[in-house]
Structure 1
Amino acid sequence: MKTQIYVDDRCGNVYEIPHGQITLKRARNGRAASMEFEYYEDSTVTEFPINTGYVVLMKADDMRIFYGYVFKVSMTKITCYDQLRYLKFKDSKVFENKTLTEIVNIIAGENLMLLGNVADTKYVIPKQISDNTEYLDMIVKGIETTLLSTGRLYFIQDNVGFLELMDIDDTKLDILLDGNGNITDYDITTDIDTDTYNCIKLVQDNKKTEPREYPYQDFASIAKWGKLQYFEVVDEKYNMAQINEKGNNLLKLKNREKKTFKLKNAIGDIRCRSGYSVYINMPEQGIDGWYLIDSDTHKFNDNEHTMDLELVVVNCITA
C-alpha cells in the first residue's frame, strides 16, 4: 500500500513530504485521532520545514485517510491530531430541549467546524448542564443520555475534515474475522471490573424534603458477583416515570460482563476504524457475532499495513 503525506503551511504552499512509518490511532468517543509519522531530513524538509499548526493530509493508494493539524515537531517525528482535538477546550453550556443532533450542530457551529453526515437522533434531552466541561465531554454526555432513553448508540468521528455523528446500526462492515488467516495473534478478556453494575442507586435532591433514593437491583447477579453499585444524582425535575426509565435502562445496560477482543498485528484494512463493527466467528472460543471496534491502531511502513484493534460486544439496551 502506497502512502502519501501532504503538508499545507496555510499560506498557499503544499508539499508532499518524504516519510517513514505512519501510526494512526483512533478511539470511538472522547478522544481525537492522532497520526504520527517519521520524516527524513532532506532537501524538501530543509526547503519547507514543518511547523506546528500546519495542515496535514495523509493518503493511502490515493484514498484520503486522515486530515489534521501538526501539534508536535521533533527532529525525527511529527505528531498530528484531527479537528476533534479542538473540542478538548472547556466551556459552560446549558442545552434545554435539544436533541443530540442539535447539540452537535451547535458545538460544531460555534467552533467553525464543517459537518458531514449527522444522524437524526430525534430524542429531545430535557436539560443538559455542562459546567467547566470539555466540548467533547458535552457530546459524550448527550450520547449517553440518548442511549439510556432510546437504546440507540451513537458516536462522533472526524471523516477527513468533516465532523460526523454516526449510528452504530449504520456502520456494520462486510468483514468477517475468523481463525482462517486474518486472526493469528489475539487476546480475549471478560471482566466485571471496568463498567459492570448490578445495583443502580439514583438519588433525587428535594429542597423541601430529604433526598429520595431509588434502587434498581438484580439479586441473582448480586449473588453471583457480589454487589457492584452505580450511583447518580438525577435532576430534581425528573418525574417518577423518568426516574424509573433511567434506573431500569441503566441496569439493563450495566448488568453485564464486559467482553473485549484484542486483535494484534493483523493484516490491515483501512475500513476498520473505531465505531464500526465487524463479525467475528471463532467457535472454539465461543465467539460468533458482531463486535464493535472501540479503538484502532494502523501502522503503514514500507508498503506494509498492519492493525491492532480493540473490540467489544455491542452493548445497547436493545441488544
Structure 2
Amino acid sequence: MITLFRITSKTDQTAWDIKESVNNIKWETDLNFAAGTLSFDLVNDTNDGRFKPNFGDIVEFQWDDQKIFYGYIFKLSYSENQKFSVTAYDKLRYFKNQDSIVWPISTISQRFETVAKMAEVAYKVINGSNYKLNAEVADSKTYFDMLKSAIDSTQKATNQMYYLFANYDVVELRKAPFQELNLIVGDQSLLTGFSYDGSIDEAANVVRIVKKDQEQSQNVSATADTSETTQTEDPSKTSFSYTDASGDTVSWWGKLQVVENAKDKANDAQMKQRAAELLKDKNRPTYSLKLTAIGNVSLIPGNSINIKIADLDTIGFAIQNAAILKATHNFSSDYTVDLEMKVNEPWLENNSSA
C-alpha cells in the first residue's frame, strides 16, 4: 500500500500529501541509459484552487514503507473531472544534458563522478572499476552517451557490465548483477504470464571488413546554381580490399552479410581480428523474454532472478536464471510488474546461465 506520496513545490516549499488522491501509478526503470519514470493520475478535489502541480516540483513515493521514487515533474496534462496526469523523472534525467569534454586516461568510476558533479546530482559509486579507459574527445554529447561509451569499453575489456540506477534521490554506479535475488518467478511462484520470442532478423553470418585502396583520388566539382563544392571519387583510381569471416549458420539461414570499414592504417591481422569479433557478436539469434508477475519492489533492472517455466523447458528453451533489463511496476490493490529479461549471454564471467 502507499505509505507516502507527496508533491513539494520548488518555489515556496509547500508540501502536499496526495496519497488519497492518486491512481494509475506506474514506475518504469530501464538499463538502456534512460531516466526512471513515475506516471500517475491525480484528482484535484480540493475545489479551492490552491493546489496545482508545476514543472520541477519534487515527487516522492513510498510503498510499504520502502523508498521507491524521488524525482521531478516534467509533463502535465489536465482533463475533465479535475484530473491531472503527471509524469516525473528521477535524477538520471539530468544525464541527458549535453556537453563537450576531453577525457583523460581514466576509469568508468572517475568519469561517472565527473559527470554526476556536472549534472549537479547526488551520486555514489557502489561498484567501481580499475580498468583505464583511453583518452578521448566527447564533443556535444549527452552524459548518457559519454558513460555508455565508457561502460561498453570497460565491459569489452573486463567482461563486467556496469550500469546507472537512481536509488531514490542518489544516482549510483553499479555492477550487474547487483543482487542475485533468492526469488523464483515461475509456474508456482509469482508468474501470471510470459512471452518468449526469437529472431535472426538482425543477425549476420558473414562479416566483411573493407579497406579502401590508398591510391584513391577525389574530383572536386561545383554546381553553378548552389555554388556548393562536392567531392566525388574517381572509379578508375578507387579499389577495395576485403577481409571476410564466415559462420557455420550460412547453410541454415542463408548468407546474411554485413560490411564494416576498416580503421585507418589497420593491417591485415587487425582486420582479421575485427572480422572475427564482429562475427562472434552477430552470428546468433536474439531472444526476448517478457514476464508478468505479482508485484515485488526488489524486481528492478540490474537484479537477477530464478525462473521455472515448464512450457519453456518442454520446447527446449530452458532458462534457469536471468537478469532484469526493464521493469514496469503497476501499483494498485492488484500490484503487478512487467519484466523484460536478458537471456542472450552472461553479464558476469562464469555466470553462463544468465
- TM-score class, shorter-chain normalisation, is 0.7 to 0.9
1:202/1:125 Cα in 2 relative to 1: closer, same or farther (>3 Å)?
A: farther
Question: Aligned residues: percent identity?
Answer: 27
Root mean square deviation, CA, Å? 3.0
Distance 1:164 1:295 in 2: 17
Equivalent of residue 191 in structure 1, options 171, 174, 199? 199
Structure 1 residue 24: Cα displacement: 0.9
Q: Is the CA contact 1:253–1:316 (under 8 Å) kept in the aligned structure 2?
A: no
1:93-151 CA deviation, whole Å, 9 max, x = no partner? 33232222222111111111211244222221213433332211221122211222221
Distance 1:125 1:238 in 2: 21
Equivalent of residue 284 in structure 1, options 292, 297, 311? 311
Equivalent of residue 271 in structure 1, options 292, 298, 314? 298
1:204-226 CA deviation, whole Å, 9 max, x = no partner? 89999999978563420333334
1:213/1:26 Cα in 2 relative to 1: closer, same or farther (>3 Å)?
A: farther
SS at match of 1:285: helix
TM-score of the two chains, using structure 1 as the length reference: 0.86
Equivalent residue number for residue 36 of structure 2: 33
Question: Is 1:23 aligned to 2:26, yes or no?
Answer: yes
Question: Is 1:105 aligned to 2:95, yes or no?
Answer: no
Question: Is 1:296 aligned to 2:342, yes or no?
Answer: no
Deviates more, 1:289-298 or 1:92-101: 92-101
1:41/1:197 Cα in 2 relative to 1: closer, same or farther (>3 Å)?
A: same
SS at match of 2:24: strand
Equivalent residue number for residue 163 of structure 2: 155
SS at match of 2:319: strand
* Residue-pair matches, total: 316
Distance 2:62 2:69 in 1: 7
Equivalent residue number for residue 92 of structure 1: 100
1:207-255 CA deviation, whole Å, 9 max, x = no partner? 9999997856342033333444555557658898887776555444443
Distance 1:201 1:19 in 2: 56
Aligned residue identity for 1:72: K
Equivalent residue number for residue 152 of structure 2: 144
Structure with greater Cα Rg: 2
Structure 1 residue 176: Cα displacement: 0.9
Distance 1:315 1:45 in 2: 56
Q: Is the CA contact 1:27–1:296 (under 8 Å) kept in the aligned structure 2?
A: yes
Q: Is the CA contact 2:323–2:341 (under 8 Å) kept in the aligned structure 1?
A: yes
Distance 1:246 1:68 in 2: 43
1:74/1:211 Cα in 2 relative to 1: closer, same or farther (>3 Å)?
A: farther
Structure 1 residue 268: Cα displacement: 0.6
Structure 1 residue 271: Cα displacement: 0.7
Gaps of 5+ in 1: none
Question: Is 1:313 aligned to 2:343, yes or no?
Answer: yes
Distance 1:97 1:118 in 2: 21
Q: Is the CA contact 2:192–2:294 (under 8 Å) kept in the aligned structure 1?
A: no
Distance 1:243 1:95 in 2: 27
